[in-house]
Chains A and B, each alone.
Chain A
Amino acid sequence: MSLFTRLRRDYPVLLLAIPGLLIIFAFHYFPLWGNVIAFQDYQPYLGVGKSLWTYLGNFSTIVDGDPEFLNAVKNTLVLTAIQTVIVFPAPIVVALVLHSLLSNRIRQFVQTVIYLPHFMSWVIVVAVFQQMLGGTGMINNWLRSHGYDPIHVIGNADAFRALLTSQVMWKDTGWATILFLAVLSQIDRSLYEASAVDGASRWKQTWHVTLPGMKPIIILLLILKLGDSLTVGFEQIILQQSAVGAEVSEVLDTYVYNNGILGGDWGTSAAVGLVKSVVALTLVLGANKLAHRLGEEGVYRG
């Protein structure tokens, strides 16, 4: 079929796609143009049109290894590792546990409770944690008034990563569970029945039926996660940064904000952000390719 006949046949559908495409263009492709800042000594009051060009000068921070930048990279990678190893699998485990619950009512109740925190903004979540665990939070006030030593969590640099991780898990685990639960309900019941007839235990059923059934969605989400793996939670961290200091809390996103928007070094920050995006893109494409090699579908067929 020639392009023309296809266009004639499909044009109502294509027209329907136009508003969506416009939005994608306006909010995803058009802003990419701003990356020219990475090659300038950008000053917001001058704008892109009047700022001086520095060409590749801004990238020297990355190449030369500015200690603050390296510190941000280190923290980002540590948090990425924690989030991939601990935070990512958590909803899978929760979904499996919920799925195995017999009572529908309990399951729905638990589900509702654990995904409520997702709807709170980070400011509220951080405030809740501070009111509970802070130096004069509920727990510590109680401890002190009963003559015990207070526990030092908020503002303790050593506990900061654990604190961040528990906040993320508290807020988003329940929400992420929904997707896995949906997949679980799609697994063919007859597979369970067949394996039960063959004498498989619950554990063996999970291992040989449930997990293989979930594999495509797990791989899909993991690849998507890799895409923003270097984005480890800007808002959450910036809100708590003053309490623990930059040493443990500076990540690439806060570095870009502190150094660029507040420090006025826009060019370098844009360069860092650009490199971060390139790395993320490479990770996604690489992981997708790997998934294809292993015979999985990945994000798209390529």
Chain B
Amino acid sequence: MSLDDARLSRRALLGGAAALGLVACSNEGRGGLPGGNGGGGARPAYMRYTGVKPDLPGAEYNIPNAFIRYPANPVEAIRKPPGDGKPIDVLTYTNTPIPPKVEQNSFWQEFNRRVGSPVTVNLTPSVDYNQKFATVVAGDRLSDIFLVGAVPQVPQLLAAKAVDLTPHLSGDAVKKYPFLANLPETAWNPCIFNGRIFGVPIPRGAISSQTMYSRADILEKVGVDGNVKSLDEFLELCKAVTDKRQNRFALAGAPTQWVRNMYDVPNNWSEQGKTLVSNLEHEAQEEVFEVLRKLWSSGYIHPDAFSGQNQDLKVRFGNGSSPLVQDTYSAWPSYLQTAVDPAMQIAIMTPPKHDGSGPGRLWRGAPAIGFAAISKKAAGRVETMLAYLNFLAAPFGTQEYLFRKYGLPGQHHKVVDGNPVLTEKGFSEVQLGLMYTADAPWTIFLPEKPGNAEAAFTAMKQTCPTAFTDPVAGMYSETNVRKGPQLTADITQITNDIIQGRKPVSAWAAAVKKWKSGGGDKIAEEFAQALASSR
């Protein structure tokens, strides 16, 4: 071969470059996997933990069990530390202040010792978590264990970045992790895509239903009855409690859901024959907005309600600047633990029907509030990761639960009447976001104030059995996954605009129409199919 032949001619070079360009720009071999349906396929077996007997059993009402006392001599449920000595990195959210660093945190040090691996947690306030998660995904910096945020295309994301846990968790395989097997069957639904298990759920259910907390001590001081029977009585109560000169505003935030409960607006979706209808289209929505606008314009809602962060709600309720706050039943312990006023008394205000014709209906919380997945980067250590999650799911009544929630006696909690009560140091140090990494089924246990566990149990017994259930909670809709976050953001935006009077109530109908055409109708269709095929 002569030298001349080996030299590329200009034409050949250009032709080659063009061909390269074409190859680079074709869509062959690109794109992710299609999303799949939640139901069907592999499921973990269920094996209930029967180690303790509740003081107030809730199974009959489909609410959590309640305990007045922590069982004496709790059992050691896990003998072998789950860790492998190498670091376990976790990404999740929190609803409490960020804990001190591990060097200054005796709970964290002891926790690492018991786990058998140094655990690092990357915590973000829950309201900002989706933003954090989206940026972490974008930067490809997912931790070993991560709570899956509401971003578009979750199934494809998981297929690309998370370990398929099916071989470890489906059927009887899960029994290797007995406390994961103790999680309710329905809680697993949101973690299953295309018949594959991609995560471990954080079970909640009825306990995560939104309700209204009131500062009974302040209501009593003002001289009003917290037991409202109609919308008018509620408005009167708000008026009586609001005292602008003392900078006190009845409500810490806009009680959007609670007002909807007064009008029997269903929980997200309702079935009408074979089709699903979104509650956005419910005829009472405009009336609900009128009520909320009135609450806002009368100054009954804290003026910074729309500009602050979630935690401010707890601060406002705790320091009495807002004696009413809408929150989940599961928030009760943190309200007690963050209380600054020793005279604080918490009560539940159940929603009446707006016209006073009986009780309103709450929205029952979804079986799981989210799920944690394991990164492919940690694929070689899947069993360690699952053992760690199993450790975090150790149920009420065990030593592990006691330590996880209350730390060490004397250091992080003191024992009052045989019950652990967190000290100030304990409260600040135990907040490692553990209950948002993996958790046991919820147990009502409020040792901070006598009588509170009974009160919480009674309130839940009254309100939860009649609560609306979201018929498609945990089910899968491709459009919802792809466009849902954006659609929800738009609806939240218009909701806030209307409540604050920036847009008229009549703007709602147009926004709902846009929601429907922008994907809402498609979502309804897909959910209806998923629902039909799940039966």
Contacts and interface: CB of A to CB of B under 8 A. Distances in A.
Interface string B116-133: 000000000000001100
A236 to B, nearest CB: 14
Interface stretch (A94-102, A147-155, A181-189): A147-155
B307 A263 contact: no
A44 B32 CA distance: 11
Contacts of B137: 44-45
A154 B303 CA distance: 9
B30 A53 contact: yes
B337 interface: no
Contacts of B304: 130, 134-136, 154-155
B152 interface: yes
Contacts of A258: 489
Contacts of A242: 306-307, 496
A134 B303 contact: yes
Contacts of B161: 45
Interface stretch (A69-77, A137-145, A220-228): A137-145
B376 to A, nearest CB: 10
B302 A135 contact: yes
B497 A136 contact: no
Interface in B348-401: none
A155 B160 contact: no
Given A53-B26, A134-B304, A264-B153, A45 B32 contact: yes
B31 interface: yes
Contacts of A212: none
Contacts of A240: 307
Contacts of B482: 264
A135 B306 CA distance: 10
B25 A263 contact: no
Nearest to A147: B245
A130 B27 contact: no
B156 interface: yes
Contact of B245 (A52, A130, A145, A157): A145
Given A135-B302, A242-B307, A262-B134, A46 B160 contact: yes
Contacts of B489: 258, 262-263
A44 B140 contact: yes
B32 A43 contact: yes
Interface in A25-82: 43-46, 49-53, 55
Contacts of B244: 144
Interface in A251-272: 258-259, 261-265
Contacts of A145: 245-247
Interface residues of B, number: 40
Contact of A136 (B302, B306, B502): B302
A106 interface: no
A193 interface: no
A234 B493 CA distance: 19
A247 B303 contact: no
Given A130-B307, A136-B247, A155-B307, A45 B30 contact: no
Contacts of B131: 261-262
A246 B493 CA distance: 8
A246 B491 CA distance: 12
Interface string A114-135: 0000000000000000100011
A89 interface: no
Interface string B23-62: 0011101111000000000000000000000000000000
B485 A262 contact: yes
Given A134-B304, A135-B303, A144-B244, A262 B130 contact: yes
Contacts of B497: 245, 247
Contacts of B153: 43, 45, 264
A22 interface: no
Point out which of B151, B156, B161 has the most chain A C-beta atoms below 10 A from its C-beta. B151
Interface in B262-316: 302-304, 306-307
Interface of B: 25-27, 29-32, 130-131, 134-135, 137-138, 140, 151-153, 156-157, 160-161, 244-247, 302-304, 306-307, 321, 482, 485-486, 489, 493, 496-497, 500, 502
| The 4 nearest A-B residue pairs measured at CB | A135-B303, A264-B152, A243-B307, A45-B160
